[in-house]
Chains A and B, each alone.
Chain A
Amino acid sequence: KAGVTQTPRYLIKTRGQQVTLSCSPISGHRSVSWYQQTPGQGLQFLFEYFSETQRNKGNFPGRFSGRQFSNSRSEMNVSTLELGDSALYLCASSPGTQTDTQYFGPGTRLTVL
């Protein structure tokens, strides 16, 4: 089975721009979660989507949004980029029940200049 894939792997943007990151979960997985990892704050939960609905949300501003499509693929959008948004953005998928193991993708490295 193919693992979680994320595109693009690397991205450079400037302040004020917006960006869209994509995540394709493992086949059959219905839950997709997004995390932000920075040296200062570590790994932080952004949100989770299950069956096209946001099921959980972390403590991030409204500039961070996401969606999930009927094939379970998910996108994450960050508007009005700030320097502090530079991070590794990780996507994780799981079948969707509460005890499922989450499998992470390789991440998208976003640099905001």
Chain B
Amino acid sequence: LAKTTQPISMDSYEGQEVNITCSHNNIATNDYITWYQQFPSQGPRFIIQGYKTKVTNEVASLFIPADRKSSTLSLPRVSLSDTAVYYCLVKALRAGNMLTFGGGTRLMVKP
């Protein structure tokens, strides 16, 4: 399983763009990169998933360079409600659905 490394915490201000980078040096050919958001005492919420290049949805963008050894979650114009823990996961394409969570990045958005 590819291990992920991401910053423990980040601070930002409302209206700014936030970029959270995750390293996954041992990512395998068939692994996907997935990001989840979690608020206290709630289950993680899926944000975005990608394999290579760039993926964008209504809440975030995911940038993955050609070597796929890292990825960057970009949150445009954050608000106070984006204060949460963000998890980067590498999802192995094998039988079953087993997610391996790291420590996550605690994002604090300040007014």
Residues on A facing B (Cβ under 8 Å):
4, 31, 33, 35, 42-45, 48, 50, 55-56, 58, 88, 90-92, 94, 96, 98-107, 109
Contact = CB atoms under 8 A, between A and B. Distances in A.
Given A101-B46, A101-B49, A109 B93 contact: no
B44 A104 contact: yes
B95 A56 contact: yes
Contact of B93 (A43, A94, A98): A98
9 contacts: A31-B97, A42-B101, A45-B98, A56-B95, A88-B41, A92-B99, A98-B97, A106-B43, A109-B41
Contacts of A98: 93-97
A106 B44 CA distance: 8
- Majority-rule SS of B interface residues: loop
Given A45-B100, A50-B97, 7 more contacts: A33-B98, A42-B102, A56-B95, A88-B41, A98-B97, A99-B91, A101-B34
Query: What size tier do the contact residues of chain B reach?
Result: 20 to 34
Contacts of A100: 97
B82 to A, nearest CB: 18
A49 B94 CA distance: 15
A107 B93 CA distance: 26
B3 interface: no
Contact of A48 (B41, B42, B98, B101): B98
A50 B96 contact: yes
B103 interface: yes
Contacts of A88: 41
Given A92-B43, A105-B43, A107-B41, A56 B49 contact: no
